[in-house]
Amino acid sequence: MSTSELQRRFGVPGVVKIDEGRGSLPRVSVTSDLATAEIYFQGAHLTAFQPRGADPVLFQSEKSHYDAAKPIRGGVPVIFPWFGPRAGSPDAPLHGFARIRSWELESCTRLPDGIVRVAFTLASDDDTMRIWPGAFRLRMIFSIGRALDLDLEVRAGNAPITFEEAFHTYLAVGDVRQVRVEGLANAEYIDKVDGFKRKTQSPGALAITGETDRVYRDDGSACRVEDPVLKRALVVEKQHSATTVVWNPWIAKAKAMADFGDEEWPRMICVETANVGDASIRLEADRTHHLKARIQVAT
Active site (catalytic) residues: 168, 272
Buried/exposed 9-35: b ≥16 CB within 10 Å, e otherwise: ebbbeebbbbeebeeebbbbbbbbebb
In angstroms, rounded to a whole number, what is the distance separating the alpha carbons of residues 22 and 24?
5
Give φ, ψ of 236 to 5 degrees: -115, 110
In angstroms, rounded to a whole number, what is the distance separating the alpha carbons of residues 259 and 69?
13
Helix (H, G, I), strand (E, B) or coil at 200: strand
Q: Interior CA angle at 274 toward 273 and 280, to 5°? A: 165
